[in-house]
Amino acid sequence: MGMKGSNGGHEPVLVQQVVRYLATVLDGAYLDLTVGPGGHLKALAQALEQDARLYGVDRDAAAVRLAQKNLQGLPQVKAIIRTSYSRVDSVVSEFGDTSFDGILLDLGISSLQLDDPRRGFSFRYDGPLDMRFDTGSDEPTAADLINTLGENELANIIRNFGEQRNAGQLARAIVRERQSKMLRTTAELRDLILKTAKTSQEHKTLARVFQAFRIAVNKELEHLEAVLPMAVDLVSKGGRLAVISYHSLEDRMVKRYMRQQVKGCVCPETFDVCVCGRRPSLKMVTRRAVTASPQEQQLNPRSRSAKLRVAEKIT
C-alpha cells in the first residue's frame, strides 16, 4: 500500500492505464465521480495541458476536503463537490462544463476511509460500526442494520455482497448475540465472526463480511445502477467512460451496461426486426477488463481485485 503521505496512504489503482485511456483531448474537460484523495485527478492534471478543466465529486466530506488540499495549486482543477455520483446530474450546472471528454468511476473505498478507525470500515481497528461514506446523512449505519435486520436479510447481505459461503451461520450468530447485547463496535463484530466461522482464512472472511455490510450500508449497487446512464449522458461524443470495480457484482453490472449500450437494440432475440429503435451509444475501448500488473498488486493490495473497463461514446 505504499508510503503514507498527503494522500492518506492511498495509492491510485491502475493510474497509468486510466490516464492513457482517458486523457485523449489534452485541453478537454474531465470529471472524476469518485475523487477520493484525488490520486487519479492529479495524474490526469499532470498529463493534460494547462487549459484542461478537471472536476471532482465524492460523497464523503473528508474525501472532498482532502482532495481540495491535495489538488490545490493545479490550475486545471476547477471544482470538487460533495454529493453522491448518482445525483451528479443535479450539480453539473455548478461546473463550468456540462459535457466531458472523460469520466472516471473508481468504485469502492479509499485507504483514507479504511484506515480511519472512527469510520468503522476496517476490522483491523476498533471503532463504531458506522461504515457510511456520507457521515452527515441520516441513513442507517452498519450497527443499525446489524441490530435490526432479520436473519434472512442479514444472510442475504453476507452471501450476496460478501460472497461468503457460511452466510446463514453468521447471520444466525449475529441474531443470537444481539438478543443479549447489541453489536456496536468493529471489534465486537470481528470477534463474533471469528468465533462463529472458525476458519484458517480469518483475514479473508473478515474482509468479506465487512465489505458486505459496507456495500449494504451505502447501497452501492443501487447508486452504481443509477449513475451509469447519467455518466454516459454526460460524456461528449468521442469522449470516454472508465470504470474501475472491485467486486464481481459491480463488474458484472458495468460489463452488462456497457455491452447493452454497445448493442443498442433491446428487442427480444426472437424478433426478426427491431421495434425498440434504440441505437448503440458506446463502443468498447478495452476488449476485456484491464487488471493490475503483478508489481502493482504486490505494492498495492487494493489493486488485486481491480477491473478497469473503458468505453467510448459514439453518438
**x/- string (CB under 6 A) for ligand SAM, residues 195-224?**
-----------------------x----x-
Angle value at C-alpha 186, between 182 and 188, nearest 5 degrees = 50
Residue that is written with C-alpha cell 469502492 in the block: 108
Report the site for ligand SAM in 41-70 (rule: CB under 6 A).
57-60, 63
Q: Is 119 in the site for ligand SAM (CB under 6 A)?
A: no
Reference 284, options 250, 300, 301, 308; nearest CA is 308
CB 235 within 8 A of CB 100: yes
245 contributes a contact to ligand SAM by CB under 6 A: no
Pick from 17, 23, 28, 37 the residue near ligand SAM by CB under 6 A: 37
Element (H, E) at 29: strand 29-32
* Nearer of residues 37 and 162 to ligand SAM, judged by Cβ: 37
| Residue type, position 102, single letter | G
Going 17 to 19 to 20 to 22, the CA torsion angle's sign is positive
Question: Which residue from 28, 36, 162, 239 is in contact with ligand SAM, where contact means CB under 6 A?
Answer: 36
10 binds ligand SAM (CB under 6 A): yes
Q: Which of 8, 28, 34, 292 binds ligand SAM (CB under 6 A)?
A: 34
3-state DSSP percent of the chain in helix, strand and coil, to 5:
45, 15, 40
CA 258/CA 175 separation, integer angstroms: 40
In the shown chain, the binding pattern of residues 74 to 93 toward ligand SAM, with x for contact by CB under 6 A and - for none, equals: ----------xxx-------
Instruction: Using CB under 6 A, list all residues that contact ligand SAM.
Output: 10, 12, 34, 36-40, 57-60, 63, 84-86, 106, 108-110, 133, 218, 223
